[in-house]
Structure 1
């Protein structure tokens, strides 16, 4: 059994992570804790590494942080990791307005899970991407920018219009978390093998 603390105060993110992990073999257990970590400026990768290092020092245990970016092709990758602030200031309609006059509405949803096995350890990053387009808001508006992102694989639906099971099969969060799940499962298997070898002499 492998476990880690998912550093988040976002109930929706925690719900999705638990649902995705539950679809696996059940060998990974996750608890959550909200930790006030510094918001550094930089690339998605730099932000992720800084956050998980700070969280591991604060908690003193294995932990995972998550960073989500929404990268507009027309804006050279912006808002990127600053999408939360852009959304808070502009709303769904304002984010659409940013693309007025540009020939492309293409966007990439990017999720980065950063894993630390504990204080002082070097973080490992797991990224997932889903390609789509920015569209006028459709569907429930309770989960961030989901109403304005229509994944190419979503058959014309936005994330917000999709049910949880369908979204979790193609989402950027699922793709990143699946890489993390495989890593942790393989790590647990190696630890078990090493333990048995030690017992067998």
Structure 2
């Protein structure tokens, strides 16, 4: 049976992927620190996946999430992790205090790379 390396440090994401893929493939977990480029969620996800495949030397699956606040014209977008690390949930909420529209969209991008 083929093995797919799911690149995450999040055990909940790992459980979800294993449940979705079931018995079709062995899902191995790797936590690889891959530097993220600046760009759109699509560009970041694609490059992260390619670099992760190079790092583990085999096929990988990655997942990235963006949170786009309408009040901030799409920010923080794919940089939500950095915003949360710097401000925390409370700080992120306070940034929206002066806006009537506090709505946001969450975007998820999954990428697979089989390698060369």
Q: Shared fold by TM > 0.5?
A: yes
User: 2:97 aligned with 1:103, yes or no?
Assistant: no
Partner of 1:15: 15
Rounded to whole Å, the distance in 2 between the matches of 1:13 and 1:49 is: 18
Shift of 1:113: 0.8
Query: Are 1:41 and 2:38 counterparts?
Result: yes
Q: Which residue of 1 aligns with 2:111?
A: 114
Root-mean-square deviation over aligned CA pairs: 1.6
The count of residues paired between Structure 1 and Structure 2 equals 116
| SS of equivalent residue, structure 2 residue 90 | helix
Gaps (5+ residues) in structure 1?
120-201
Unmatched 5+ residue regions in structure 2?
none
SS in 2 for 1:46: helix
2: CA distance between counterparts of 1:2 and 1:104?
Answer: 47
Deviations 1:86-113 (A, max 9, x none): 1111111111111112121211111111
DSSP-derived class of the 2:100 partner: coil
The aligned counterpart of 1:70 is 67
Q: Any idea what SS the aligned residue of 2:96 has?
A: coil
Q: Are residue 30 (structure 1) and residue 27 (structure 2) matched?
A: yes
- Name 2:91's counterpart in structure 1: 94
Cα distance in 1 for partners of 2:55, 2:90 equals: 38
Rg comparison, structure with higher value:
1
Aligned to 1:4: 4
- Report how far residue 81 of structure 1 moved: 0.7
Q: CA deviation at 1:13?
A: 2.1
Distance 2:21 2:99 in 1: 39
Structure 1 Cα separation of the partners of residues 4 and 18 of structure 2: 12
Match of 1:59 among 40, 56, 59: 56
* TM-score relative to the length of structure 2: 0.88
- In structure 2, what is the equivalent of residue 151 of structure 1? none
